[in-house]
Amino acid sequence: MTTFDSSTLKLWIEQNADFLKHARIQKIQQPSRRNFIFTLRNFGLSKKLYIDISPQFCHVCFLEKPRHLDIPKNPPMFCMLLRKYIENARISKINQPIYERILEIYFETYNELNEKIYLCLAIELMGKHSNVVLYNCDTNIILGCAHNVGAEKSRYREMAGGLPYTYPPKNCNFWYTADDSFTKLNGSLNSNIDNYFAKKIYDDKFSKLKEKYLLNINKKIKKAQNSISKLNLTDEQKYRRFGDLIMANLYNNNDFQKSITVFDYENNKNISVPLNENMTLKENANRFYKLYNKAKTANSKIQMLTQELNAEISYLNDRLYFVQNAQNIEDLYEPEKKLIPVKKTVVEEIKGENYTIFVGKNNKQNDYIVSKLAKDSDLWFHTKDCAGSHVLLRTQNITDDLILKCAKIAKEHSAGAKSSKIGVIYTLAKYLKKPPKANLGYVTYSHEKEIVIGEF
């Protein structure tokens, strides 16, 4: 990993000192506990100073490319404190304590009594000890920190509002330049820093989101499977058969017995029917008929619930497949919580001379294909009993070669991509139906045909 060392910070300050000095802070934002965006204005230009104090990615730079940063509606307390004291203030001086990875930004501003005060924002880029501290230069008292450091965390240097600000203990007596330092790279230093950390932060966020989604989806699948395992159908026909056998033998047996033995003509054998000894035979028969009706109703509900749970598992398996194969954050679109907003749905298109093939890469795209794109005359493809993409063929001339091509694409974009052979179903889009309140991408179909695709 390329290191943001003290010599990198020194060179970055030298290259950007002219813009930083006397720049006005127009806006202060804090996307998370460990990063900040200061919008600075100078020489008729606005730039976004990005400060990251996370242990693995600590750095500063001017943003040149967009990053996936969600600005909270309710800013953290430290952000509010920064806005109170230094928003709209001008930078009076920039400094870096010798050999330190600390960027000091000084301000001349005014307090509530309209008295001029001198403040310093110390940006400490020191791995797990990174911090942003605002303190009063006249009194050397800390006004606030990005995160406080108590005695239990550091016996050398406590950091909190109301305490005096001190420099960290020195551990280096020269400008440190790592073997992989940014100062050794060609091109713009700021661009190198921004490009490198933008990718690192994006990849880290993508990896953590992917892991979070996989954990959540697997948890839901397990929960649905456990629910199905607890649903047990009652042998409703048993109750009806007992009732019928009792009625057929009313005159061959006596009332108020614990059981009777009768001949079961369906199974061609004698069976024992348990009875309530406090009831007559006819009352016992009616009791079994009531149990039959009750079991019939319960079984119908169980079957309906089982279908719903199986549909949910099928949908979650689709989600699982798409998340496992996601290549970027946008592919991790979460339809339930909308954690990753997608303004426009774009599906993959494969164009030929007389055809266009549409391929969904997640549940939202699958739903878009069947709900918005599909025309009645289009052919729809999907792997049979296997999570995967919806594939849609649009052409005026359907040929066996095109059907085979689409079936191969459906197999390639499915959980069965590496299977030796797998069935792919296809039908006209007009035979697709999306049930009310169905999950994204879920459809039922009819008039389907099947083609088996082997390895290719």
Q: Are residues 100 and 188 in the same domain?
A: yes
Point out the domain boundary residue: 181, 203, 225.
203
The pLDDT score that the predictor gives to residue 197 is 95
Average pLDDT of the residues in 279-306: 94
- How high is the mean pLDDT of the chain? 91
Q: Has residue 336 got a pLDDT over 70?
A: no
Q: Are residues 162 and 262 in the same domain?
A: no
Average pLDDT of the residues in 300-312: 91
Q: Are residues 97 and 194 in the same domain?
A: yes
The pLDDT score that the predictor gives to residue 339 is 40
Q: Are residues 187 and 54 in the same domain?
A: yes
What's the structural domain count of the chain?
A: 3
Point out the domain boundary residue: 276, 301, 319.
319
Alpha carbon 296 to its chain centroid, in Å, reads 41
Looking at the domain assignment, is residue 231 inside a domain? no
The pLDDT score that the predictor gives to residue 342 is 42
Looking at the domain assignment, is residue 335 inside a domain? no
Average pLDDT of the residues in 12-24: 96
Q: Are residues 48 and 145 in the same domain?
A: yes
Q: Are residues 121 and 186 in the same domain?
A: yes
Yes or no: say if 342 and 333 are a contact pair by the CB < 8 Å rule.
Answer: yes
Q: Are residues 255 and 352 in the same domain?
A: no
pLDDT band at residue 243, thresholds of 50, 70 and 90? Answer: very high
pLDDT digits (tens, 9 = 90+) for 35-65: 999 999 999 999 999 999 999 999 999 999 8
Higher pLDDT: 142 or 2? It is 142
Looking at the domain assignment, is residue 46 inside a domain? yes
The pLDDT score that the predictor gives to residue 70 is 81
pLDDT digits (tens, 9 = 90+) for 148-184: 998 788 778 899 999 999 999 888 899 999 999 999 9
Q: Are residues 36 and 80 in the same domain?
A: yes
Yes or no: say if 209 and 32 are a contact pair by the CB < 8 Å rule.
Answer: no
Average pLDDT of the residues in 84-92: 94
Looking at the domain assignment, is residue 58 inside a domain? yes
Report the alpha-carbon distance of residue 68 to residue 434 in Å, rounded.
34
Report the alpha-carbon distance of residue 81 to residue 79 in Å, rounded.
5
The backbone torsions φ and ψ at residue 111, rounded to the nearest 5 degrees and listed phi first, read -90, -170
Looking at the domain assignment, is residue 90 inside a domain? yes
Point out the domain boundary residue: 203, 228, 251.
203
The pLDDT score that the predictor gives to residue 456 is 63
**Angle in degrees, CA 306, 307, 309, rounded to 5:** 65
Instruction: Count other C-beta atoms under 10 Å from residue 317's C-beta.
Output: 17
Q: Are residues 79 and 192 in the same domain?
A: yes
CATH number, domain containing residue 167: 2.30.310.10
Looking at the domain assignment, is residue 432 inside a domain? yes
Q: Are residues 12 and 138 in the same domain?
A: yes
Average pLDDT of the residues in 432-451: 89
Looking at the domain assignment, is residue 343 inside a domain? no
Looking at the domain assignment, is residue 229 inside a domain? no
Name the residue range of residue 71's domain: 6-203
Q: Has residue 128 got a pLDDT over 80?
A: yes
Q: Are residues 137 and 262 in the same domain?
A: no
Q: Are residues 355 and 240 in the same domain?
A: no
